[in-house]
Structure 1
Amino acid sequence: MALHLATTDEGNTLLERDPLALLLGMLLDQQITMEKAFTSPSVLAQRMGTDHLDAETIAALPPDTLLEHFRTPPALHRFPGSMAARAQQLCQAVVDEWDGDAASLWTGVDSGSELVRRIAGLPGFGDQKARIFAALLAKQFGVTPPGWEEATGDYGKPGHRSIADVVDDDSRVKVREYKKAKKAQQSEQG
């Protein structure tokens, strides 16, 4: 599998082999570009001097230390303070609820609705983000519990609706166009 979510090969490689990096990329995917969000976990790992991200280590970091990792130029997110805190909360939840193993959220899950429920229960994830992440897991990582298509709604359908559908540069452009059209439609309605 060759991911195309991050802007660097190192970023994509980390996402492929590190479930926590993938989860953090999805957490950060708001109010910044998709590519920036999914590249930031590899930059965080570099700044922490490691080749993988560990939920227990991040959860235990002094908040000021994690904030410095997020804030150092180029910042990992447009809002480094709030996103560093949210990332730390997410890692603490992974430690407390999933024994520090992000993949255990989706490993052996019985149904698509259970998968979406588990993800939506994480700090920084609501229903829509959970459905997108579940669709990403299904479409690009083969995590397809029974009923995943129904549980992910439109994000589980073929097309170019979200990061779950980005498999190359062309699909990234199509997802961006879809999001832009959706935003314009919402502006006209509201």
Structure 2
Amino acid sequence: MTEIHLAQQAEADELLGRSPLAALVGMLLDQQVPMEWAFSGPYTIAQRLGGDDLDAHEIAAHDPDAFAALLSAKPAVHRYPGSMAKRIQQLCRFLVDEYGGEAEAVWADAASGEDLLERLLALPGFGKQKAQIFLALLGKQYGVRPRGWREAAGSYGDSGAYRSAADITGPESLAKVRAFKQEAKRATKAAKSAGN
């Protein structure tokens, strides 16, 4: 089991450390909400499904309306629980169809960083940035390091960087990643207003 501190909540982080599917679902949820909220989502979902783990077969087969209601119950798992419920089920159906429901199979035998990046890009809900961040997370914190993984992860693979979820190992690094993201937002805003 890997020691993870993405959710900043012991039980949720413990699940992320032992469940490859929880890590993938947390990454999928990591948009338009604070990272800790996103990465505590898999634990909340597992609890609401009545267990202490996530199962791709169970989620894929779940009634879509009931699954959306499960994510929408207070406190909601995401700012957009209905659309995220659909995305999680799409991801789980893909994992069932392509990998026998085993999330870890996505990266277990990847021949190279580029190969792994292509596999991640094929996942529903994973664009280039999300795939590269997850690749960096796998390499930096889960010990999944196929040849060329840092290069395939782009700047997210840089050693000593504080750019994304891949770099969060506790409250201090979370604060550094937040500061980086705020600065990047400010720079983007400034560039847009300078272009007008």
Q: C-alpha offsets along residues 171-190 of structure 1, whole Å, 9 cap, x if unaligned?
A: 00000000010111111112
Shift of 1:89: 0.4
Shift of 1:3: 1.0
Q: C-alpha offsets along residues 31-74 of structure 1, whole Å, 9 cap, x if unaligned?
A: 00000000010010000001110001000000011011100000
User: Whole-Å Cα distance in 1 between the matches of residues 170 and 9 of structure 2?
Assistant: 13
One-letter amino acid matched to 1:161: R
Q: Which residue of 2 aligns with 1:155?
A: 156
User: Whole-Å Cα distance in 1 between the matches of residues 106 and 52 of structure 2?
Assistant: 22
Structure 2 residue 64 is the aligned partner of structure 1 residue 63: yes
Q: Which residue of 2 aligns with 1:25?
A: 26
User: Whole-Å Cα distance in 2 between the matches of residues 80 and 149 of structure 1?
Assistant: 33
User: Whole-Å Cα distance in 1 between the matches of residues 129 and 182 of structure 2?
Assistant: 17
User: Whole-Å Cα distance in 1 between the matches of residues 58 and 49 of structure 2?
Assistant: 10
Q: Which residue of 2 aligns with 1:169?
A: 171
Q: After the TM superposition, which parts of structure 1 deviate over 6 Å for at least 4 consecutive aligned residues?
A: none
User: Whole-Å Cα distance in 2 between the matches of residues 61 and 95 of structure 1?
Assistant: 13
Q: Secondary structure in 1 aligned to 2:86?
A: helix
User: Whole-Å Cα distance in 1 between the matches of residues 176 and 8 of structure 2?
Assistant: 17
User: Whole-Å Cα distance in 2 between the matches of residues 43 and 7 of structure 1?
Assistant: 14
Structure 2 residue 140 is the aligned partner of structure 1 residue 127: no
TM-score when scaled to structure 1? Answer: 0.98
Q: Which residue of 2 aligns with 1:4?
A: 5
For the 8 Å contact 2:8–2:171, the answer to whether it is kept is: no
TM-score when scaled to structure 2? Answer: 0.95
User: Whole-Å Cα distance in 1 between the matches of residues 65 and 3 of structure 2?
Assistant: 35
| Number of aligned residues | 190
How well do the aligned residues superpose, as a CA RMSD in angstroms?
A: 0.7
Structure 1 portions without partners, runs of 5+: none
User: Whole-Å Cα distance in 2 between the matches of residues 120 and 14 of structure 1?
Assistant: 24
User: Whole-Å Cα distance in 2 between the matches of residues 108 and 87 of structure 1?
Assistant: 23
Structure 2 portions without partners, runs of 5+: none
User: Whole-Å Cα distance in 1 between the matches of residues 50 and 157 of structure 2?
Assistant: 36
One-letter amino acid matched to 1:60: A
